[in-house]
Structure formats: structure tokens, C-alpha cells
Chain A
Amino acid sequence: MATAFSATLPLHGSQENRLLLPPTRLAPPPPSSSFLGSTRSLPIRSLNHAHASRRSPVFAVQEVVKDKKKPTNSLLITKEEGLVLYEDMILGRSFEDMCAQMYYRGKMFGFVHLYNGQEAVSTGFIKLLTQSDSVVSTYRDHVHALSKGVSARAVMSELFGKVTGCCRGQGGSMHMFSKEHNVLGGFAFIGEGIPVATGAAFTSKYKREVLKQDCEDVTVAFFGDGTCNNGQFYECLNMAALYKLPIIFVVENNLWAIGMSHLRSTSDPEIWKKGPAFGMPGVHVDGMDVLKVREVAKEAVGRARRGEGPTLVECETYRFRGHSLADPDELRDAAEKAKYAARDPITALKKYLVENKLANEGELKSIEKKIDELVEEAVEFADASPQPGRSQLLENVFADPKGFGIGPDGRYRCEDPKFTEGTAQV
């Protein structure tokens, strides 16, 4: 299956090395990356080379990349960039590992969904964005918030349900929001955030075309493979392409929606193909390789900033842990997990940095140590923070608290002194 973009130096060396087990399919796998996930056989038609040769009508991106002639020994990143990427991925990984520890120690409750293994997608995209660009995520949102710039302290406190959390303890694991960093959530129901992201992109376009402001803000919407069978996804692909909105739809295809394999739930599992059906480029990229993701992201974000419209990017990735901390994770093959563990994005980037002499072990170790301390400090901060008081109960229900109405005594309920105590009758 063709990819519309191609990075020149894959992190993982030759493609063949990634195959630990021969796939039990009738046709030989194409040389460029295909679904190396489940060893269960795919239906023949999805591997048909005829599909690969049937191009999408949108070529802009492909042509641009084809024309680039990179010398074979040029690197994709500078040292500074490499260290930023490394630090961000280490932060994501350490934070999530700490979340697991804290959950089992009873510091946080409810549904907690960890991002281990998918760091390359978050880092690859979000580190290219500015503060005024928006990010919309799902319930697996801790690392998106961290990559966007929300402090580890704020996220950890939110998870502990403390007042100092980014949402004052009112959102929780699945609802990370930050106005300052333009993280527009954090949504519990899948697909729910995609229209919101479309709206944020609409605002960018509106600012440019109606308000005549200089606005190059783009929106990146992250969601999973399961979401790609949901109506909201398709409705938004249509509107985004129709209105040429500055949005990038990023599918984090980790092949599993809790216990439902992507292959069992999707008639055509190649999600990137659904982009051209709506008139936008569809790209498939190796989501375990942060540099490849970054190259694709640069192109997609560039397209959006230039006003050329949306892009659908499918990142083949994997979550090392279960769907949530409550998931026993019994359905996935140990062999599949091992295969992806060998493609750990952090290990791969480390190897790349060291081999290409961009950083040495010592520098990387000091980054790891720094992050460990940061995460520890975040936990201490969260532990020490107070829990929300009763007074917070009614405060943010309405932006204008007159919305609680007029009480029998003629005063607005929000004027009742008990309102700020959180004990008013509303």
C-alpha cells in the first residue's frame, strides 16, 4: 500500500527487520509498510496492489515530496530538536508510568487510559505547533496535554482531583482542558471531540475571512481506530474538506478498541483511504517512528496553514498497556505485543540520536533524570494540594450564574450567600 509521504531515513532500518513472524496471508506483503499488527489474515482485497496503484485524486502533497531530493546522509533533525523530542517522549512515558503507580495506590480513581507506546504520535505532531494552535483529544489525553505545554503538576493534580488541577479537579483523567495552551479537551465519548476540533478550525477560517485578522492557527484532532467507524468522523471529514478548514485529523490506529480488533470491526481497515473519498489527502505513517510522524506532520500542518485544507493522517501505533487501567488486556497476542515493544519509539529515537552523533548517552540520561524529578515533584505537588471545597460545587455550571434563575424571594439564586458556599437550593 502506498504512502503519500515518505521519510528518507527510517528509524528502524530496513523494513524486513520489523517482521518477526511471517504474516499468514496469501499474497506477499508489499515492500512499503502495511499492517504489521495482528497476524490474523487480512482479506485479500486490502492487500491488492491494484489498490495501491489507484491513486487518490488529491496529489498536491505527494508531488511536493517527490520533488524533494534529500541527500542520503542528511539528518531529519538538529540536535536541539532531537533533544526536545526525546524529552517530550520521556515525559509522556514517565508520567503515564507514574499514573499507573498512583492509581494502584488509590490516589486516582475512575477510568484512566494510558498512552504508553504511542508517544511518537503526540510528540511528532504537537511539537510542531504553536501555543495558539489547538489540540483536541479523547480520553487518552494526558500526553497530548503535556506535549502541548500543560505542566505535569497541573495534569497530575487534575488526576488526583485537586483544586490545582488544570480543570480545578472537575474534569478528571478524561477531560484535560487548557485555555492557555489551547487544549480543547479531553472527551469521554469517542468521536465527540472531532466536531469541536472542526469548530476550532472554523474559527481560524472565520477570523481570517470575516474578521480580517492574521490567523494561521491550525487544529489537530487526535482519535483512535474505533472512532473511524463513528458517524461524527465522517460528518466532519465532509465539512472540513467542504469548507477547507485548517485541521489535521490524526488517527492513532493502535489496532484495538478495548477488546475489539480493528480488523473485526471495520469493513475496510485502511483508514487513510477514507480521506480521498472526501477530497483530502489520506496518509499512512509508521506511528512508532517519531521522525516519520514529524515529517508527515510538517507537510500536513503546512498545508493547513497555507489554507489548502485538511489532511487525514493514519498513524500505525500501539499501546503497550491495556485500554485502561481496568482492562485485563487478555485478548491481545503476546507475540503482537512483543513485536511492537521491539519498536518502542523512545528506544528508536535514542538509537538514532546516538548513532548519528546528535547526543551522547550521558545527555540522554540526564534528560531522563530531569524528567523523573519533574514527575516526582508533580506527584508531591498534587499530594500537597487541597481538595475542592464545597464552595466550588456550583461555581462553573454557568458562565453567567444568572442561569440558575430567580428564586421565590425575587433575588437571583446566585446572589444567595449560600451559593458561594455550594449549599444554595438551585
Chain B
Amino acid sequence: MAARIHGGAGAGAATALSTFNPKKLVAPPSRTNLPARNSKRYIVSAAAGSDGSKKSLLRVRHSQKLIANAAVATKAEESSAPTGTGHELLLFEALQEGLEEEMDRDPHVCVMGEDVGHYGGSYKVTKGLADKFGDLRVLDTPICENAFTGMGIGAAMTGLRPVIEGMNMGFLLLAFNQISNNCGMLHYTSGGQFTIPVVIRGPGGVGRQLGAEHSQRLESYFQSIPGIQMVACSTPYNAKGLMKAAIRSENPVILFEHVLLYNLKEKIPDEEYICNLEEAEMVRPGEHITILTYSRMRYHVMQAAKTLVNKGYDPEVIDIRSLKPFDLHTIGNSVKKTHRVLIVEECMRTGGIGASLTAAINENFHDYLDAPVMCLSSQDVPTPYAGTLEEWTVVQPAQIVTAVEQLCQ
């Protein structure tokens, strides 16, 4: 099943996911304690995730994992056995669905941000929610990122579960004080007394000629903050799943969306599901090389993968999804199989997620590598306005093809 892009995403940026060849589907690596997999869908029970005890969380983890893998497996099976259920929607609608479901489920979940209420969100993620839940639960804040992020943190400490929207992730630079000092650290400095179950979300990344300040990749800057988790969504399926998981998590989670991916269309299950926050997603199993990517670059990689397959290569593509912490199990198993790694990211060359991932792979899987880890990142350049220049700052599919050919010599 392919995810198609509609509307504003524009041409040339992202393309359809490659269809799976069911014969090539490799069973995901088994984990300890994991019961035997089958490809039926599992429904997350209502109790999952809400119980604070570790035991039930681990149980949830298994069922979540089963759902994530089941969905992947199901996609493969659709070519042979169409399921007939599920509904198609755009990525921003998937985010909204996830958010609405969580707000229905738990009255402590609330939203705060600029223009999230009456305007419906500048990317329509919160459309209709203010009408349904009221102006206090979907709070239109004044333009004061530092203060309203801190307000969300204070509310979280006293029992609410706010979802704080940065209209553009770049604006959250103004909230860095609160995100670093309070969001990340308060649980620790209070000796575990206060939890901060906030979700900070918003669109980032390089868009369509938005200019330097609206094209930032904040994941680079936030990744060092201790005590937070970062995830990046890339498909309607994982957008809804990660949104729900992030809201249910007791940890502060930063959910990175991408400006150009909001209009991706995909069919997602009707039943309730969540995606595991700490796991990576196997997009396309392969044998020759591991390509690690996330967010919009996933689509550049898949476009390059089509070219590569025609040239006889068999890339394994993994969407790392969890930017902090890295899922070293999925990544490691892939490295052990292919022995070559290419990282494709949108962060700047210096100090980005790719840089950290390169270090982590070298540290943990050095013995399994047949070639140095290669990392394709954006140029260390403020994103120019001109279309041609902007295109050259970001990694393009042709560069990915060249890099794979180079690594696979």
C-alpha cells in the first residue's frame, strides 16, 4: 500500500513508499519475553498504558510492538488478502484523530498553543477541537512561547497532561529555557516527586522556500537535554500512533512533525493502536546496506531506493522514529546483517541527529562494519529562500544513490 501525497507537499519533495514484496519480508528480530508473532491485528486494551506499574507497562510494550509489527506485516499481506477495514486520511488528520481520541479518553489532556483554538491550528491539527472541548481545554495562548511552555510544565506538575504546540518548531527556541531547565530536569531535581507528562509538538524542517528561520531542525538542539524523549513521525499511521503514545507517556516527549508531510494520505486501522515511542520502524527490509533516516528524508530515501533497486541494489531502509533514545536493537540487527550504514537526515552536518547516530553506531557496532558509517546531512548553511539554493542545502535522492553506490563498492 502506498502513501500518496496530496496538495501542498509539492512535487519532487517526497514520493510514494515503495510497495513491499511479501516474499522479502523478514521477521523482525525477536526480543526476550516476546510471545510468538502472528500477523493479526491487536487492539490496545483501555487499561494499557494508564496503569503506572512497570509490569503492566511491559505487557503494554509487547502488545504495542505487536501492533506496530502487525501493521507492517499487514501492509505486505494486503496485496494478497485485502482487509477491507481501515480508513484513509491525511497526516494532519491522523494527528488530530489521535489527539481527539486521547482527549476523549482522559479529561486531563489539554492543548495549548498559538491559534490552536478558534483558528484550528495553523496546520489544522487541532481543527474542530475547540468547538468540541471548549476554550480552556484547547487554549489559545498569547505569543509568549517561554511563558506558555512553562505554564504547560506547571500544569503538568499539578496533574494535567498538556499538549503544547509550537506553531513552528523554530519558535520553541524562545522556550528553550523552560524546555531544558524545567521540562527535562524537574523530575530529577525534585527527586522524582513531580512528573512532567507534557507533549511538545510542532512542525519543523525545511519547507518550500519558507526562509531560514522557519526552516530549522530543532531536534539537533534539543537532543542533549537529559530527561526528554524525542520522536519524529513520517506517515499518517505512525503520526497517530506516536501522538497517542506520547500523550500517554509519563515522560516529557517532543514530537517532531514536518511541514511538508502534513498532506500525506494513508489508510490507517479503525481500531485503536499506538506506536512504541522507543522503537524504530522497518520500512523496507534488504540485504546490502542499511539506510537510517527519519521524517521527510524517508521519502527521499524511498525514491532513491527505487532507483537503487533498478540498479540491482537491495537497501534496507529503517525509519528511526525515536530520535532520542535511539533504538539500537533494530539498528544493530540491521548493521549486523548488511555491514554498511548510510544515514540520511535533514539536520545540519554539525551536531545533528546523524552525528550522534554515527557515534552511537561506531561505538556499539564497530566490529560489524565493512565500511565507515556515512552520513548525508543538510549543509551547515542558513536555509536560503531561493528555490535552487534551498534544494542544494538538503539531501536529494540522487546524492543518496551515489552514496549507496560508493559504500557498496
Q: Which residues of A contact B (CB under 8 A)?
A: 134, 136, 165-172, 175, 177-179, 184-189, 192, 194-207, 209-211, 231-232, 235-236, 238-239, 242, 395-400, 402-413, 426
Is A192's CB under 8 angstroms from B322's CB? Answer: no
Instruction: Tell me which of A192, A206, A232, A406 contacts B136 (CB under 8 A).
Output: A206
Kindly list 19 other residue pairs between chains A and B, CB separation below 8 angstroms, not including A199-B157, A203-B160, A411-B31: A167-B190, A169-B191, A175-B190, A187-B181, A192-B150, A195-B178, A196-B151, A196-B157, A202-B155, A211-B107, A235-B142, A235-B146, A239-B141, A398-B227, A402-B61, A405-B324, A406-B329, A407-B329, A408-B364
Is B136's CB under 8 angstroms from A205's CB? Answer: yes
Instruction: Tell me which of B32, B156, B325 contacts A199 (CB under 8 A).
Output: B156
B2 within 8 Å of A (CB atoms): no
Known interface pairs A195-B154, A406-B325; A395-B181 also in contact (CB < 8 Å): no
B315 within 8 Å of A (CB atoms): no
B264 nearest CB across to chain A (Å): 27
Is A235's CB under 8 angstroms from B194's CB? Answer: no
B278 within 8 Å of A (CB atoms): yes
Interface string of B146-179 (1 = CB under 8 A from A): 1111111111111110000000000000000110
**What residues of chain A lie closer than 8 Å to B325, measured between beta carbons?**
403-406, 413, 426
Is A235's CB under 8 angstroms from B147's CB? Answer: yes
8 nearest A-B residue pairs (beta carbon): A199-B154, A195-B150, A405-B325, A235-B147, A168-B191, A167-B191, A177-B190, A196-B154
Residue of A nearest to B279 (CB): A406
B250 within 8 Å of A (CB atoms): yes
B313 within 8 Å of A (CB atoms): no
B229 within 8 Å of A (CB atoms): yes
Is B189's CB under 8 angstroms from A175's CB? Answer: yes
**What residues of chain A lie closer than 8 Å to B332, measured between beta carbons?**
408
Q: How far is the CA of A195 from the CA of B158 in the complex (A)?
A: 13
B345 nearest CB across to chain A (Å): 18
A357 nearest CB across to chain B (Å): 43
Query: Among B154, B187, B326, which residue has the most Cβ atoms of chain A within 10 A?
Result: B154
Is B189's CB under 8 angstroms from A198's CB? Answer: no
**What residues of chain B lie closer than 8 Å to A184, measured between beta carbons?**
154, 157-158, 194
Known interface pairs A171-B190, A177-B190; A202-B154 also in contact (CB < 8 Å): yes
Q: How far is the CA of A210 from the CA of B135 in the complex (A)?
A: 10
Is A200's CB under 8 angstroms from B227's CB? Answer: no
Is A170's CB under 8 angstroms from B154's CB? Answer: no
Instruction: Tell me which of A188, A203, A209, A236 contacts B147 (CB under 8 A).
Output: A236
Instruction: Tell me which of A202, A235, A412 contacts B144 (CB under 8 A).
Output: A235
Q: How far is the CA of A399 from the CA of B188 in the complex (A)?
A: 9
**What residues of chain B lie closer than 8 Å to A407, measured between beta carbons?**
328-329
B318 nearest CB across to chain A (Å): 13
**What residues of chain B lie closer than 8 Å to A194, measured between beta carbons?**
147, 150
Is A409's CB under 8 angstroms from B329's CB? Answer: yes
B188 nearest CB across to chain A (Å): 5
Q: How far is the CA of A399 from the CA of B161 in the complex (A)?
A: 14
Residue of A nearest to B149 (CB): A195
**What residues of chain A lie closer than 8 Å to B150, measured between beta carbons?**
192, 194-196, 198-199, 232, 236
Is A239's CB under 8 angstroms from B142's CB? Answer: yes
Q: How far is the CA of A134 from the CA of B157 in the complex (A)?
A: 11
B29 within 8 Å of A (CB atoms): yes
Query: Among A186, A399, A411, A413, which residue has the most Cβ atoms of chain B within 10 A?
Result: A399
Is B146's CB under 8 angstroms from A134's CB? Answer: no
* Interface hits, B113-162 → A, CB 8 Å: 134, 136-137, 141-142, 144, 146-160
Is A412's CB under 8 angstroms from B278's CB? Answer: yes
Instruction: Tell me which of A195, A203, A210 contacts B148 (CB under 8 A).
Output: A195
Q: How far is the CA of A210 from the CA of B153 in the complex (A)?
A: 18
B228 nearest CB across to chain A (Å): 8
Is B190's CB under 8 angstroms from A185's CB? Answer: yes
Q: How far is the CA of A238 from the CA of B152 in the complex (A)?
A: 16
Is A410's CB under 8 angstroms from B154's CB? Answer: no
B192 within 8 Å of A (CB atoms): yes
B220 within 8 Å of A (CB atoms): no
Known interface pairs A177-B191, A210-B134; A200-B158 also in contact (CB < 8 Å): yes
A421 nearest CB across to chain B (Å): 17
Known interface pairs A206-B160, A406-B327; A198-B147 also in contact (CB < 8 Å): yes
5 pairs across A/B with beta carbons < 8 Å? A172-B189, A177-B190, A398-B227, A403-B251, A411-B32
B86 within 8 Å of A (CB atoms): no
Q: How far is the CA of A242 from the CA of B278 in the complex (A)?
A: 39
Place the interface of chain B in its size category: 35 or more
Q: How far is the CA of A409 from the CA of B329 in the complex (A)?
A: 6
B399 within 8 Å of A (CB atoms): no
B358 within 8 Å of A (CB atoms): no
**What residues of chain A lie closer than 8 Å to B147, measured between beta carbons?**
194-195, 198, 231-232, 235-236, 239
**What residues of chain B lie closer than 8 Å to A168, measured between beta carbons?**
191-192
Known interface pairs A206-B155, A408-B332; A179-B142 also in contact (CB < 8 Å): no
**What residues of chain A lie closer than 8 Å to B188, measured between beta carbons?**
170, 396-397
Is A398's CB under 8 angstroms from B191's CB? Answer: no
Is A398's CB under 8 angstroms from B190's CB? Answer: no
Residue of B nearest to A195 (CB): B150
Known interface pairs A168-B192, A232-B147; A402-B177 also in contact (CB < 8 Å): no
Is A200's CB under 8 angstroms from B187's CB? Answer: no
**What residues of chain B lie closer than 8 Å to A236, measured between beta carbons?**
147, 150-151
Q: How far is the CA of A86 from the CA of B157 in the complex (A)?
A: 32
Instruction: Tell me which of B61, B151, B160, B229 contacts A239 (CB under 8 A).
Output: B151
B303 within 8 Å of A (CB atoms): no
Is B151's CB under 8 angstroms from A199's CB? Answer: yes
B92 nearest CB across to chain A (Å): 25
B339 nearest CB across to chain A (Å): 15
Residue of A nearest to B137 (CB): A210
**What residues of chain B lie closer than 8 Å to A167, measured between beta carbons?**
189-191, 193
B307 within 8 Å of A (CB atoms): no
Q: How far is the CA of A200 from the CA of B155 in the complex (A)?
A: 5
B365 within 8 Å of A (CB atoms): yes
Residue of A nearest to B178 (CB): A195
Q: How far is the CA of A178 from the CA of B193 in the complex (A)?
A: 7
Instruction: Tell me which of A196, A203, A396, A409 contacts B182 (CB under 8 A).
Output: A196
Is B249's CB under 8 angstroms from A239's CB? Answer: no
B227 nearest CB across to chain A (Å): 5
**What residues of chain A lie closer than 8 Å to B30, measured between beta carbons?**
410
B379 within 8 Å of A (CB atoms): no
B320 nearest CB across to chain A (Å): 11
B37 nearest CB across to chain A (Å): 14
Query: Among B152, B155, B195, which residue has the most Cβ atoms of chain A within 10 A?
Result: B155
Q: How far is the CA of A404 from the CA of B277 in the complex (A)?
A: 11
B110 within 8 Å of A (CB atoms): yes
A413 nearest CB across to chain B (Å): 8
B1 within 8 Å of A (CB atoms): no
Residue of B nearest to A199 (CB): B154
Is A242's CB under 8 angstroms from B189's CB? Answer: no
Known interface pairs A199-B152, A405-B327; A185-B186 also in contact (CB < 8 Å): yes
